[in-house]
């Protein structure tokens, strides 16, 4: 935390140069529509760093924020590559199955589920699709996403609860 002239903490907005962070994120390949999210992630990490007890002050918050912004850009690319790989595997999986005619009720249910999936947060949707559409185990999903198994279980629990609520709200299902 950088101190002001009187030694009190300086607000995060004044500690980091937002335009510089946007430029770093943009040069790192983060799309325009996600720049503000990246800036907020940098600010959040700065606040987290400042709130750690016994943590020494960040000597140069602007340089620290620039490094964090570049790491966020790298993480964005990793996530994008992971999503693209997943999309390719899913499209291969679905391309080998022949199309099947379904009764109207099943089509309606599929549409409601698809709309519910679209409304889920990306991480919950990803876990749900990997578990129930590709039949991966929780352990496999955790390894694939590089997260603990408990995180996968939590995401699945919240996603299923949200979809259940949505399905119960729809009449006739």
Diameter of the chain by CA atoms?
73
Instruction: Provide the pLDDT for residue 40.
Output: 92
| 102 or 147, which is more confident | 147
Residue 166 has pLDDT above 50, yes or no: yes
What's the N-to-C CA distance of the chain in angstroms? 54
Q: Is 76 in the same domain as 104?
A: no
Q: Is the pTM of this model over 0.75?
A: no
Q: Which domain holds residue 128?
A: 100-169
Band of residue 1 on the pLDDT scale cut at 50, 70, 90: very low
Distance CA 51, CA 46 (A): 9
Contact 130, 119 (CB under 8 A): no
Do residues 70 and 30 make contact, with C-beta atoms less than 8 angstroms apart?
no
Contacts of 159 (CB under 8 A, 6+ apart): 120, 124, 125, 127, 128
Q: What is the pLDDT of residues 94-121, one digit of tens each?
A: 666 666 676 777 777 778 888 888 888 8
Task: Let me know whether 68 and 112 are in one domain.
Answer: no
Q: What is the mean pLDDT of residues 1-10?
A: 48
Into how many domains does the chain fold? Answer: 2
């Amino acid at each position: 935390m950088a101190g002001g002239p009187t030694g009190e903490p300086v607000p995060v907005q004044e500690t980091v140069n937002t335009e510089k962070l946007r430029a770093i994120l943009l040069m790192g390949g983060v799309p325009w529509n996600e720049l503000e999210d990246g800036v907020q992630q940098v600010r959040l990490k700065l606040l987290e760093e400042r709130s750690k007890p016994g943590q020494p002050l960040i000597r140069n918050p602007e340089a620290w924020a620039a490094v964090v912004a570049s790491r966020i850009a790298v993480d964005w690319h990793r996530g994008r590559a992971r999503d693209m790989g997943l999309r390719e595997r899913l499209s291969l999986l679905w391309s080998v199955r022949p199309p099947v005619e379904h009764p109207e009720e099943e089509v309606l249910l599929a549409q409601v589920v698809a709309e519910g999936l679209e409304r889920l947060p990306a991480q919950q949707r990803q876990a749900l699709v990997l578990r129930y559409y590709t039949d991966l185990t929780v352990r496999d999903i955790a390894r694939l996403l590089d997260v603990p198994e408990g995180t996968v279980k939590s995401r699945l629990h919240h996603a299923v609860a949200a979809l259940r609520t949505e399905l119960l709200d729809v009449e006739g299902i």
